[in-house]
Amino acid sequence: MPQFPSSVVIREVGLRDGLQSIQSILATQRKMDWIRDAYAAGQREIEVGSFVPARLLPQLADTAELVAYAKTLPGLMVSVLVPNLKGAERAIDAEADLLLVPLSASHAHSVANLRKTPDEVIAEVARIRAARDAAGSRTLIEGGIGTAFGCTLQGRVEPAEVLRCMQALLDAGADRVSIADTVGYAGPAAVRELFEQARKLAGEKFWCGHFHDTRGLALANVYAALETGVARFDATLAGIGGCPHAPGASGNASSEDLAFMLSSMNIPTGIDIPRLLTLRAKVAGWLAGETLHGTLWLAGLPKTFINSSTAATAA
Amino acid sequence: MPQFPSSVVIREVGLRDGLQSIQSILATQRKMDWIRDAYAAGQREIEVGSFVPARLLPQLADTAELVAYAKTLPGLMVSVLVPNLKGAERAIDAEADLLLVPLSASHAHSVANLRKTPDEVIAEVARIRAARDAAGSRTLIEGGIGTAFGCTLQGRVEPAEVLRCMQALLDAGADRVSIADTVGYAGPAAVRELFEQARKLAGEKFWCGHFHDTRGLALANVYAALETGVARFDATLAGIGGCPHAPGASGNASSEDLAFMLSSMNIPTGIDIPRLLTLRAKVAGWLAGETLHGTLWLAGLPKTFINSSTAATAA
């Protein structure tokens, strides 16, 4: 049997990757309720929003407020996404625990979506690192490499280019690096191969895997990544979010299904799944009319399920 | 990297496990069209029905006709499910290539659903073997061990009991043995562990894995099984079928999503995925109003997809 990690963190990114992809705008109070309940269910890392101009993503305009609220919850690691130095400065001011800078390994996708080449993003990360250090801030910097398994514009993305970007991000001062299958092109064999190489390159700085379920492979891909020892995965409650290129297609890995898979493997996540399912029902009510995903909420937990979470006492 | 099988067979069980679980009764001619198109798309093993009394499963009353039709397609391995000796005699008369006898490793589930204990099913397999040999028939006998990862009635099912049943089936004369997660309780770590042991016990006679997607883990489970060298999986087009205990929940592993996963891993299946998606659209039209599953049909194939199937020339 492979060596699986002794525990796994599911980083909840529904409030960012999920909410930015759907029409509904959730009120700030409801987002706070979501964060509070996710925390009570045992989640200890949450990406609460994105420091982008409000005119681009009005859904996420309240990110500073959410960071401030989330930081009142003891032991919660509060992340935000930032597209550039300006966003990073806001994250540093807000004292976010971690800021994630997205980089697209696909040159075509990078220019089309970020309006920068990968190397320009890497140069921006170096400026962010300098700003962080100058501010005496403890905010961690994560470089998240997207379209790592291909993209809808240029098609194939070479693993060597992903690894080159990863090394360059580390050289530029990123504290953490991650890999994302932004458009749901990855299969488990490719994941295993790339993640093994990434672990060799970045060691413990290789931080997180982010899989979309666009073609149903998110959990198989997580499983393949687990076999390489990676112990942190992004996911969204009810699998919200997803692929703008495939309307109606499945979104992110669903947090509750992923928690169930890990529970079935006896890998602790700290998550109380019944509580997370209760939160899912609440969020589903708030997002009425949106396409939600995941399967566990409908089938229910198996009779053999043992709730090993200590969240009830920890929260 | 693990050693994956050099090729994989997706056995289509939609005409049996799928159609028996849903309300619609498909006309015999449409079932024949389905078999013809699946064959044209490269599928070479199809379970066409079940020899059970028509009053119990009117959906499958035309199984003998379907076997006769399917056997006109060169190189197609035609399977049927049989619950007992009487059904097996019909399968042998019809010259099916393989008959599958289901056994439930859960004693409670076995008594409730098959009205026999596991040991009584094993004794029936011995009688089926004797009848097959007496008839000079070449129909293969497969013992399919269901509820192998737990069941909705008794909860936990011990792997040791699954392996005991497997050995007993082989001793009783089964040519092949298989494992099924009938109710969607399996996770990939348990799959890997049990499949490794089953391979050790039965070698090449360990024939097939059958996973339901009730809790979203079917493809992760297939991936874990692939790592043990198992090279044949049941699946249903559009994931039809599923779990009577969880109405609306996901059904079987979907044939087209599974074919895509294997294609992403460069494991040949002989299946022409675009053709299979065309057939899916046709069957979805026939089954209007039924809940269908799968993700690939909605998202479409990635830009990086290469159709390596030789089905177009083989068909």
Instruction: For residue range A10-46, list pLDDT tens digits in order.
Output: 999 999 999 998 888 999 999 999 999 999 999 999 9
Give the predicted TM-score (pTM) of the model. 0.95
Comparing B270 with A312, the larger pLDDT belongs to B270
Task: Give me the torsion for CA of A184, B211, B242, B76, rounded to 10°.
Answer: 100
Residues 141-170 of A with CB under 8 A from B: 150-152, 155-156
Residues of chain B found within 8 Å of residue A220, distances taken between Cβ atoms: 219-220, 222-223, 261
Reported in sequence order, the residue ranges of chain B that DSSP labels E, i.e. its strands, are: 9-12, 45-50, 77-81, 98-104, 140-146, 176-181, 206-211, 232-235
The SS3 call for residue A157 is coil
Residues 162-221 of A with CB under 8 A from B: 183-190, 192-193, 196, 213-217, 219-220
Tens of pLDDT, residue by residue over B165-220, are 999 999 999 999 999 999 999 999 999 999 999 999 999 999 999 999 999 999 99
Q: Which residue(s) pair with A212 in the sheet?
A: A252
- Could you say which DSSP state residue A72 is in? T
Distance of CA B275 to the CA centre of its chain: 21
Number of A–B residue contacts, CB under 8 Å: 150
This complex has an ipTM of: 0.93
Reported in sequence order, the residue ranges of B15-147 that DSSP labels E, i.e. its strands, are: 45-50, 77-81, 98-104, 140-146
The percent of residues above 70 in pLDDT, for chain B, comes to: 95
CA proximity to B276, closest of B16, B37, B84, B25: B37
Tens of pLDDT, residue by residue over A121-180, are 999 999 999 999 999 999 999 999 999 999 989 999 999 999 999 999 999 999 999 999
The answer to whether the Cβ–Cβ distance between B302 and A190 falls below 8 Å is no
The percent of residues above 70 in pLDDT, for chain A, comes to: 95
The SS3 call for residue B254 is strand
Average per-residue pLDDT for chain A: 94
Reported in sequence order, the residue ranges of chain A that DSSP labels E, i.e. its strands, are: 9-12, 45-50, 77-81, 98-104, 140-146, 176-181, 206-211, 232-235
Is A134 exposed, middle or buried, given 0-12, 13-18 or 19+ CB atoms closer than 10 A?
exposed
pLDDT at B243 over 90: no
Superfamily of domain B9-314 in CATH is: Aldolase class I (3.20.20.70)
The SS3 call for residue A106 is coil
Distance CA A90, CA B227 (A): 46
DSSP codes of every residue in B203-215: GGGEEEEEEB-TT
Task: Give me the torsion for CA of A18, A22, A25, A29, rounded to 10°.
Answer: -20
- The pLDDT assigned to A262 comes to 98
Residues of chain A found within 8 Å of residue B219, distances taken between Cβ atoms: 216-217, 219-220
As a 3-state breakdown, chain B gives helix, strand, coil percent values, each rounded to 5, of: 45, 15, 40
Task: Characterize B210-231 residue by residue with b for buried, 16 or more Cβ atoms within 10 angstroms of its Cβ, and e for exposed.
Answer: bbbbbbbbbbbbbbbbbbbebb
Closest-CA residue of B relative to A4 is B189
Smallest Cα distance from A153 to chain B, Å:
8
Smallest Cα distance from A183 to chain B, Å:
9
The answer to whether the Cβ–Cβ distance between B298 and A224 falls below 8 Å is no
- Which whole-number Å values give the CA distances from A98 to A44, A231, B253, B263, B315, in the listed order? 13, 17, 38, 37, 55
The SS3 call for residue B88 is helix
Q: Average of pLDDT values for B160-168?
A: 98
Tens of pLDDT, residue by residue over B269-313, are 999 999 999 999 999 999 998 989 999 999 999 999 988 875 444
Distance CA A203, CA A196 (A): 10
Phi, psi of B77 (to 5 degrees): -90, 115
Distance CA A275, CA A271 (A): 8
